[in-house]
Amino acid sequence: MSIFGKIKDAIFGEAKAASPKPGAGNVAPTASPGTKTHQTAPAEVSEVDVERNLAAMAEGKDLNWRTSIVDLMKLIGVDSSLDNRKELAQELGYAGQLDGSAEMNIWLHKATMRELAANGGKVPPELLN
């Protein structure tokens, strides 16, 4: 599994497996093959409140997850080593030096938050910019 996938799974957690919203259809096909049926994909949770989930995880911990990719990864139980951050940077398309610099880490945190938002996470603007 990708590093970003581990991050997403840790933050989105149970929300991905939450039951569908009332009124959402989960209709399985009942007709024989070759006939048209009405089939609705399982409903997904529209947005996961990333900030709320992370804040809940951070209660009682002294981690600066709002700006530090290292602390964010530590908070959710993902290895924050330079090798893993390099891999995450490559996954997310970082074009700079993979040296663990402040520039790389700041970019990585913002890119991670943007990618969480692009995958159904509700992320406040101050964590995206």
19 phi and psi angles, rounded to 5 deg: -70, 155
What integer pLDDT is reported at residue 20 of this predicted model? 38
Cα 127 from Cα 111, distance rounded (Å): 10
Which letter does DSSP use for residue 15 in this model?
G
Residue ranges per structural domain of the chain: 3-14+46-127
Q: Report residue 69's pLDDT band, with 50, 70 and 90 as the boundaries.
A: very high
* Tokens representing residue 37 in the block: 């049926």
The 10s digit of each residue's pLDDT in 18-63 is 433 333 333 443 444 444 434 434 444 468 999 999 999 999 999 9
The beta strand positions in the chain, using DSSP E, are 48-49, 121-122
What integer pLDDT is reported at residue 81 of this predicted model? 98
What is the model's pTM? Answer: 0.76
Please answer whether residues 51 and 62 qualify as being in contact, where contact means their C-beta atoms are separated by less than 8 angstroms: no
Smallest CA-to-CA distance from 56 within 15, 19, 85, 16 is with 15
Q: Which residues of 87-102 are buried (b: 16+ CB within 10 A; e: fewer)?
A: bbbebbebeeeeebee
